[in-house]
Structure 1
Amino acid sequence: MTIRNPILPGFNPDPSIVCVGDDYYVATSTFEWYPGVQIHHSRDLANWRLVTRPLNRASQLDMRGNPDSCGVWAPDLSHANGRFHLIYSDVKRYGQTTIDGARGASLRDFHNYWVTSEHIDGPWSDPVHLNSSGFDPALFHDDDGRSWLLNMLWDHRPGGRRFAGIVAQEMDLANGGLLGERRLIFEGTSLGFTEGPHLYKRDGWYHLLVAEGGTERNHAVVMARARSLFGPYEVHPDGPVLTAAGKQGAALQRTGHGDLVETPTGETWMVYLCGRPLPVSDRCVLGRETAIQPMRWGEDGWLRTLDGDASPELVVEDATPSVASEPQRERSAFDTATLPEAFQWLRTPEADRLFSLTARPGYLRLYGRETIGSHFTQSLVARRQQAFAYAAETQVTFAPRHFQQAAGLVCYYNSTKFHYLHVTADDDGQRVLQVLSAIPTPLGSSVMTQPIAIDAGPIGLRVEVDHENLRFGYRGAASTEWNWLPERFDASILSDEATLPGLPNFTGAFVGMACQDLSGAGEPADFSYFEYVDGGND
């Protein structure tokens, strides 16, 4: 009887959890991937399935132009007055100015919105803008019927604290209007980077949970309590409630950004984000994932892990039903009118400009759009990498006329790091196969393999990833054998840790299909299937 963490493998960070009756729901961040926010459902805290991505139309979300790792941050899911409430940030800018080489103003744009729905699978309302003073907004519903909006406060001024603490402001739950003035209720601890607030009430105490230490190896869940919502808050006497900081060799690292849920039988569980480093490179290609474990309230009224040492647990014993670490095998034949649920695309709500499942029945047609590094209209459809070792393949029909037209199979983190096996044409119009890699060296670099001439007609493309190692193969439609490219590629660059200086890295590795036409003609590519197979939770 065990739960093996993470419960949501692959890029699923910043979890927020709510229990409604016998149903549990967890919402996670999606950043620049569309539609926005993933919500998973469970009845037992062990087995989870994706039920909806609620931000799925232009009136709710348009991220064209958002930089990499911006977009939808840290959704908060709650339930009150017979409705679900979802609060989220749409981050439009992540940047810092410098003055003569010194640290200058860090000017960022965070817009916080509120949507509601009577049912978890929608329809969800159009958003109401709440504020833009910082990110990680959350709702607290007090037992007196009042609701409060929390968020971290961003201080952009040179020499400022940046993460200036947690603010609270009353919210009219009928229309999303904010009442009164915001008040700074908690300035954080010496760990710094105070963010991700959630508030709970228990035995007359207001318990404030925050993430601190930054989202890398010093990440932590910190708690403080007060008799008044506005404080003053005293910090937990033990230090962080949960962290992997300083615990070398722990399978779950970067643990933090938690949220609590109480079961119908009165047990308390915490969901939190985590990362699993590759054994050699120590990089987290699966991004920040979601884990869960039971907690306990002590006689002194403070929350602790079951053994009291604040450590994340890879395996939770004596949980409800057992969950097996089963391999995933998914084959999408593109024979329906909707995109299979595993797939997402980038930024734009105008999906019909990127792809069609009806233009050629039985195929996913991608229309050639902007470059694979575009922040606006990029024709790329992909799914999460969810294990250290996996294989994926597809077959594409594509007839490029020149080098500005390309389509193929891509392993993608963001616009600065990817490996892209694509079909294009040389100056003589001969169809060729190449790999374009974007490598996050200190100054950034692009590497292209030598072109391989290929015949006309459909061509199969395959990638196999084993931890840090990645290889590509191809075959003609009539062949059963794969031809493997001689080059081996570094899969570990598709991680948060491999980065150009100064850029945010908060997502994870994806694998999927892409198509570009830099001439503007929109030349399409037709993909007949996509298969993904992995070995389950490593």
Structure 2
Amino acid sequence: MTSPVPDGTTVARNPVIRGFMPDPSMIHVGDWYYVANSSFEWFPTIPIHRSRDLAHWEYAGHVQGAAPGGSLAGVPDSGGIWAPSMSWDGERFWMVYAVVRSVGTPYFDLDTYITTASDSRGPWTPPRRVASHGFDPALFHEDGRLWLLNLQNDHRPGGQRFSGIVLTELDPASLAPVDETRLLLQHDRLIEGPKVCTRNGWYYLTLAEGGTGFEHGVRMARSRSLGGPYELDTLPLLTTRDDATLPLQKAGHGELVQTPHGQWVLCHLAARPLQTAAGPRCTLGRETAIQAITWDEEQWPRLQQGGWHPATEVTVATTPCAPPSPRQAEPTSLNWPWSTLREPPSSTWADTTTRPGWIRLRGRHGPESRWEQSLLAQRLTEHHATAQVTVDARPRTFTQAAGLILRYDAAAYLSLDLTWTEPDGEAQRGQQWQSAGRVVLSLVERDEHGARQAALQEIEPNNPVTLGVTITGTSARFWYATDGQRTQIGLPLDCTRLSDDHGGTLRFTGTLVGIHARDLVDASFTADFRDFRLACRPCAESIGLLTPSSSARAAAHPSPHP
């Protein structure tokens, strides 16, 4: 195997974009590499990062308007925007993606959209719907022509939910089909995520293989014609399914890109699991990584280090550059790195002007709603972290609460909230309008078995209180502080429930840390927050603590996903 080694190299440490950043699609335009990622039910929709050297990445905007009507209200957890694919036709950026409205059923009930922009930061054109055979769409541009690749789904009883890869030529102006859709490839193992690139007269089809769990991988196919027939490579390009001890697991869903230096790289997803008695748990979700690629004598792509296991450090031929300066967000800015559920932040429920220096949230639905949650959260990017915030609120009923939350989804969260409860010794019977009651801190843990009260602590009313959590690998310890005195509340809680791998259901996102408020009666309750801080620290656990004993996990963990 040979690979060009021009002067100038950079060492990229995987994952290069850390935390919940799955299903990466990478392109190179001008001086920049761009990566777009799935956002699922979260806003901003389709976050985009950029880099000059593949090692140092910065947030570069998102596809505003990707959700038709500006809302994903009602979509299930892990539904919403799956697996966007970014491309460049020489003049414009293109983004194609699916909005998935059913998860865990034979039907995905999805719509596929295309939007374009002359600048990656936008503005993006209003999305236009195109043929929606399945999720994981991608576009291929050649000689002014445009093709849509997609997964084909057969929802019928006895059908294959992943029944092959299809190709449809579209008119570049109208996006209407030009010809009949054709089947490119079927495989006995689950395949999805098609991407096409060309090299030396070959069309290479990069495929996600085996589902997005621990069986994930990348398999290549090729043809002398875009329309096929395609032959599958006999070896995987990338997978970790055969070695549970590797620090990067779930490696798959890739895209090949050629650098200006002539080298090829593979951008893909991976996860850093923590070991637990119940098996590996990926609390950070799936993240973005890269690998250096070479080509063998038969013109198949191979990992530069040999084999098919991802490397945690990769030397790439590129022009090294200084890391981007850390983003200095305003203390009360509601922009990135904040994220919100199923809708962008709105002044109707998130106010930064009424009380300068504070974020005021107006309480709406509870933490399990698919509709209107007043929640602002940021991605957890390492296994060790601390978060804290000061909250000032006056709850008068148990239907009102505000506080700090670690959230995976509606069935997996830990929250410490300022709320109301009955007077000491009085039964919990919902008579909040009949007595003064007490102001308390309520620590709740939620998993597939329901919500449980982990601790309850009365505090002085009418005073701001600082709420915090310290995450150490698999556990989260909550605390509060008044007058600078920190007090732990409850016992350490298991935060590995906040992962793709817990609970036996299809889950595709990652853990976020944030602030929220609820008022289940009339949405009149407000809570003010200031000085939110999230500090994530790389540590030994951040590259995994798997041991050979972990191979006893469910060896086949294929989960249908983007």
Q: TM-score, normalised by structure 1?
A: 0.92
Structure 1 partner of 2:438: 430
2: CA distance, partners of 1:436 / 1:247: 37
**What corresponds to 1:288 in structure 2?**
286
Whether the aligned pair in 2 keeps the contact of 1:330 and 1:531 (CA below 8 Å) is no
Task: Give yes or no for the alignment of 1:471 onto 2:471.
Answer: no
- 1:495 and 2:492 matched: no
Aligned counterpart, 1:116: 116
Q: Is the 1:68–1:504 contact (alpha carbons within 8 Å) kept by the matching residues of 2?
A: no
Identical-pair percentage: 39
Deviations 1:204-241 (A, max 9, x none): 2111111011111110100111112121111113x211
Deviation of the 1:175 alpha carbon = 2.9
Q: Does 1:179 align with 2:178?
A: yes
CA-atom RMSD in angstroms: 2.1
For 1:530, give the aligned amino acid: F
Change over 3 Å in CA distance of 1:58–1:209 after alignment to 2: closer
CA deviation string 1:266-309 (max 9, x = no partner) = 11000000011113351000000000011012221111111331
Residue 65 of structure 1 aligns with which residue?
74
- Tell me the SS of whatever aligns to 2:490: coil
Counterpart of 1:413 (choices 408, 412, 421) is: 408
**Letter aligned with residue 150 of structure 1:** L
Contact 1:32 1:66 (C-alpha < 8 Å) held by counterparts: yes
> Tell me, what secondary structure is at the counterpart of 1:240?
coil
Correspondence 1:93-492 to 2 at 5 A = 93-96=102-105, 106-142=106-142, 144-188=143-187, 190=188, 192-237=189-234, 239-280=235-276, 281-317=279-315, 320=318, 334-335=331-332, 338-349=333-344, 351-427=346-422, 428-440=436-448, 444-455=449-460, 456-476=462-482, 479-492=483-496
Give the AA of the match of 2:510.
G
User: What is the CA–CA distance in structure 2 between the aligned matches of 1:197 and 1:57, rounded to whole Å?
Assistant: 21
Aligned residue identity for 2:446: A
Does the CA-based 8 Å contact 1:3-1:322 persist in structure 2? Answer: no
**Paired residues, number:** 515
Separation (CA, whole Å) in 2 of partners of 1:65 and 1:534:
31
Tell me: CA distance 1:349–1:131, structure 2 relative to 1, closer, same or farther (3 Å): farther
Q: CA deviation at 1:22?
A: 1.7
Give CA-to-partner distance per residue, 1:363-399, whole Å, 9 cap, x none.
1111100011000111111000000000000001110
* Equivalent residues of 2:19, 2:381 under 8 A apart: yes
Question: What SS does the corresponding residue of 1:162 show, helix, strand or coil?
Answer: coil
Distance 1:449 1:248, change over 3 A: closer
Counterpart residue type for residue 406 of structure 1: A
Contact 2:45 2:66 in 1 (8 A): no
After TM superposition, list the pairs within 5 Å mapping 1:9-24 onto structure 2: 9-24=18-33
Show structure 1 runs of 5+ residues with no match: 97-105
- Note the residue ranges of structure 2 that are not aligned, 5 or more in a row: 1-9, 423-435, 543-562
Task: Say if 1:114 and 1:127, in contact at 8 Å, map to a contact too.
Answer: yes
Instruction: Look up the equivalent residue of 1:334 and give its one-letter code.
Output: P
Distance 1:462 1:21 in 2: 43
Instruction: Please say if residues 275 and 288 of structure 1, whose CA atoms lie closer than 8 Å, have aligned partners that are also in contact.
Output: yes
- Confirm or deny: 8 A CA contact 1:411 1:509 kept in the other structure: yes
Amino acid across the alignment from 1:535: R
Aligned AA for 2:534? Y
Query: 1:102 maps to which residue?
Result: none
The equivalent residue for 1:101 is none
Q: State the shift of 1:57 in Å.
A: 7.2
Cα displacement (A) at 1:256: 0.2
Q: Which residue of 1 aligns with 2:521?
A: 519
Change (3 A) 1:61 1:132: farther
Letter in 1 for 2:178: L
- Asked if the contact 2:334/2:345 (under 8 Å) is kept, the reply is no
- Cα-to-partner distance string for 1:19-78 (whole Å, 9 max, x where unaligned): 012211000001000121110000001100011011347646421000000001000000
Q: Is the 8 A contact 1:21 1:264 kept in 2?
A: no
Return 464-473 or 276-285, whichever deviates more: 276-285
Normalising by structure 2, we get a TM-score of 0.88
Query: In 2, distance between residues paired with 1:71 and 1:498?
Result: 21
AA aligned opposite 1:115: T
Conservation of the 8 A alpha-carbon contact between 1:242 and 1:311: yes
Q: Do the aligned partners of 1:68 and 1:414 also contact (CA within 8 Å) in 2?
A: yes
Distance of 1:483 and 1:26 partners within structure 2: 42
Contact 2:465 2:480 in 1 (8 A): yes
Partner residue, 2:38: 29
Q: Secondary structure at the match of 1:19?
A: strand
Please give the secondary structure, in 1, of the residue aligned with 2:496. Answer: helix
2:89 maps to what in 1? 80
**Quick one: distance in 2 between partners of 1:438 and 1:44?**
42
Structure 2 residue corresponding to 1:8, chosen from 6, 13, 17: 17
Q: C-alpha distance in 1, partners of 2:328/2:91?
A: 38
